[in-house]
Chain A
């Protein structure tokens, strides 16, 4: 990685963190559990990396197997996280 592309990534990191701080500060305590479960599902974005790591044609390669393990774990994180969040939010009703 060149220093230039590193700096761009760093900009993205800082700005996205700032957006995150601003957004979460406004979430009322009532919704903190679904928020956490939902953001937890977002952290499963590493699934993108896992798919790339699976993209090796040689089954003898350790990296391929690591990628596949990562893909299963990340999928559990993503699918389970979103499904659980939706299940909780469905229950929030106003009479």
Chain B
């Protein structure tokens, strides 16, 4: 019997790996996700047949409650809100790992009065620590992303010292917990400490850095599952946890690279604040050239190649569908239309692609930065919608700029650039954008959705 269960777990592990592999191609991604969920089902099934028949009712009740909540959230959430939902799900996963490790520890040491060996004990402690940090950290990321907590970096003096002391305290109580298993106080203290640490490490990180934080927390939730696998001596938890841990680490690296920041720099926090950001506010005011909707429509009418650069501002203004109309209209006029996607164009890795896919824009039109950056120079028109820092040439030219060194889209190389923007407000990093003052740049002020709808109307009449 036991061997069959182990084989089921092996099958589940293989399905997870194949599933992730197939998630790597748009044509097979949906099937990959299905195979991965099939793997999960097999793992769950193989576990459920081991339990006492009488507890099946309890298990069924919990699964029904959890499934109902999960499905409700998954089908209700708007695509702009996917990042905070992923953060929330992630947090639940982390808390589940903490709770499972604690439950196993409690059962063995308190209820059965057994001794557990040191390796298991250490695994419990690691599982509780990472699980707790994942839970409250994800919760804060969730609150920051949906604006219930200020997206600004919250910093105070001695912050890093406090975090360090808390971490030392966490290690300390773990050691005590491992020396005396009959006394559960220290494990509970560790759980509380880890929850506090989770809050304090994410609080100082600004909203602009959230893509990094979500990726990192995603990795943590995998590591927590992994540690729980060591507690329960369970292979499938370790395989699945390791896959997720690795995936989160890679995405974190990609995000850091896209923002030209080191992970340490992001984690120490405080970016995007006015203090000491090398922000020369007294530089000359940027003189911009304005353009009206009619004139803009005439420019669109006269070009043969167009690159649209969407930013998160586009999603905030709900302008995706207007953009799709615009791009379809341009294509009918034999204009070559493509979208340039910066890696941090949304609030999580790849978010912009999902938002545009939702608006029914074909994914082969969405070109990533490295592939399209050389094409700007031979493009007639670039249309920037709700993007700011990712098109700021200061990142290449001005060593004093806080975003200097960050890879940006070379939009200024195009013949003409039209930027649609609500006002002359600053981007997420709170700095001036030199692009707006460039000779070939025209500003089209107004709400993105309304402006583009008007633009489509004008263009239809031409």
Main secondary structure of the interface of B (DSSP, over half): helix
B445 contacts the other chain (CB 8 A): no
B19 CB to nearest A CB, Å: 7
Complex CA–CA separation, A72 to B92 (angstroms):
9
Complex CA–CA separation, A30 to B58 (angstroms):
41
Using C-beta atoms within 8 Å of the partner chain, give the interface range for chain B: 35 or more
Q: Are A45 and B242 in contact (CB under 8 A)?
A: no
Q: Are B19 and A56 in contact (CB under 8 A)?
A: no
B348 contacts the other chain (CB 8 A): yes
B352 CB to nearest A CB, Å: 9
Q: Are A43 and B26 in contact (CB under 8 A)?
A: no
Which parts of A11-52 form the interface with B (CB within 8 Å)?
A: 12-13, 16-21, 23-52
> Which residues on B sit within 8 Å (CB–CB) of A43?
90, 93, 218, 221-222, 224-225, 240-241, 244
B268 contacts the other chain (CB 8 A): no
> Which residues on A sit within 8 Å (CB–CB) of B54?
57
> Which residues on A sit within 8 Å (CB–CB) of B357?
88, 91-93
Residues 240-251 of B, flagged 1 when their CB comes within 8 A of A and 0 if not, give: 111111111111
Complex CA–CA separation, A23 to B23 (angstroms):
9
Q: Are B343 and A29 in contact (CB under 8 A)?
A: yes
Among B37-45, B288-296, B377-385, B405-413, which stretch is in contact with chain A?
B37-45
Contacts A21-B246, A42-B40, A85-B33; is A33 near B24 (CB within 8 Å)? Answer: no
Further 17 A-B residue pairs, CB within 8 A, beyond A23-B17, A35-B23, A43-B241:
A25-B250, A26-B24, A29-B353, A31-B25, A32-B350, A33-B86, A35-B247, A35-B251, A42-B19, A43-B240, A45-B225, A53-B100, A77-B70, A84-B85, A88-B357, A89-B29, A95-B362
Chain B residues within CB distance 8 Å of chain A = 13, 16-17, 19-21, 23-26, 29-30, 32-34, 36-37, 40, 43-44, 47-48, 50-52, 54-55, 58-59, 62-63, 65-67, 69-71, 73-75, 77, 79, 82, 85-86, 89-90, 92-93, 95-97, 99-104, 106-107, 110-111, 117, 119-120, 214-215, 218, 221-222, 224-226, 228-251, 254, 341, 343, 346, 348-351, 353-354, 357-358, 360, 362-364, 366, 368
